[in-house]
Amino acid sequence: MVESLKVGIVGAAGYTGLELIRLIYGHPRLKLHWVAAQSNAGKTLGQVAPALQGVAGIGELRLENFTPAMSKDLAAKLDVVFCALPHGASSEAVAALHGAGLIVVDLSADFRLHDLSTYKQWYGEHHAEGLLAKAVYGQPELHRAQLKGAKLIAAPGCYPTSAILPLAPLLAQRLIEPGGIVVDSKSGVSGSGRTPKASTHLPEASEGIRPYSVAGVHRHTPEIEQELSAVAGEPIRVTFTPQLAPFTRGILTCTYGKARAGTTLEACRNAALSLYKSGLVTVLEPGLLPDTLWVRGSARAQLTYALDERTQMVLGFCAIDNLAKGASAQAIQALNVALGWEDGLGLPQIAQFP
């Protein structure tokens, strides 16, 4: 019989935490044993998310109040901890859990940037600088080799995933110019978390679309640039425009880059097909453009390209579910790879459509 690893989640009452619970429940080799939350400690999962009421072994699980001092005890009963805390708050928790010998998958931004000064510039002080070098950026499509056996995984951000996937093949194969790249992204509202605010209040969000944090101030910018620079072999800067669109799950990203001489649409498609072998990145059949609805709830990314012959611009299009391939499903995919399992093991392959 297949043995399963014992899993805990810190930050289980937020959206990425709840999505981890859904996905782990369906995973044949991971079993949820322990959950923690901050303001909701003491409640059951069924109370913080009535969707979980009646689910045997889950709905009655009670949220604890995690403190770093508990890490040793946790290490005695768990194998893996997913940490879904806000950036800044995450690093101390991760350091303690990692120090106690647990495999840690961190969904915050705290271990995604390799360069400490870049981190400080965008996020402020870091509470576990020493671990930056140990953390592996958890995009399995690009970092498969480093992920094998990794003990500390920094799961990528949602916008970066949707931007890196279409652009990486183009830069790797030198199909577009490195300068002047535009990334125009539209995200569902779940990307802004579970705390209600004016911009997520249904009457002020459900029929509108709006940009925010534009012109180089959104914190996902350096993460996109770090990964694209690595694949391009030279520094890449992007103009990144996030937008809040009126639906719950999904990101559609359109990328624009100037075609190099000789670039063909065929070459763009082939670049992606040859780079992505995880089984979770689908290059759509020619003629189809991605739709966030087609990946909702699944661990899959869909992408495709177009070449504007009139302007010699290469367009890349990528759709993901921000909570799945953009967060929790990719975190599990990275763990799967770290443990030597198949990328898609236990993950939903088929979107909930419609």
Which one of 123-131, 133-141, 153-161, 179-187 is the stretch in contact with a second copy (CB under 8 A)? 179-187
Judged on CB neighbours under 10 Å (0-12, 13-18, 19+), 85 is buried
Among 29, 219, 237, 260, which residue sits at the site for a second copy (rule: CB under 8 A)? 237
The size of the interface with a second copy (CB under 8 A), counted in residues, is 96
Tokens at 147, concatenated: 């992920």
Cβ at position 273, least distance to a second copy in Å: 11
Among 34, 111, 159, 317, which residue sits at the site for a second copy (rule: CB under 8 A)? 317
Q: Report if residue 233 touches a second copy, rule: CB under 8 A.
A: no
Name the DSSP class of 260.
P
Return the SS3 of 172.
helix
Which residue in the block uniquely carries the two structure tokens 């959206």?
15
Nearer to a second copy, 320 or 337 (CB): 320
Considering only residues 9 through 48, tell me which ones interact with a second copy, judged by CB under 8 A.
15, 18, 21-22, 25-26, 46-47
Among 5, 41, 89, 313, which residue sits at the site for a second copy (rule: CB under 8 A)? 313
158 part of the active site: yes
DSSP 154-167: EPPPHHHHHHHHHH
Considering only residues 181 through 200, tell me which ones interact with a second copy, judged by CB under 8 A.
182, 184, 186, 188-190, 194-198, 200
Considering only residues 262 through 291, tell me which ones interact with a second copy, judged by CB under 8 A.
279, 281-285, 288-291
Nearer to a second copy, 33 or 72 (CB): 33
The alpha carbon dihedral of 306, 307, 311, 313 has a sign of positive
Return the SS3 of 214.
coil
Which residue in the block uniquely carries the two structure tokens 């009126």?
246
Tokens at 241, concatenated: 């425009």
Q: Report if residue 209 touches a second copy, rule: CB under 8 A.
A: yes
Cβ at position 68, least distance to a second copy in Å: 29
Cβ at position 279, least distance to a second copy in Å: 7
Element (H, E) at 116: helix 116-123
**Residue 352's CB: how many other CB atoms inside 10 A?**
12
| CA 153 – CA 165 distance, rounded (Å) | 19
Among 70, 315, 320, 334, which residue sits at the site for a second copy (rule: CB under 8 A)? 315
Active site residues: 158
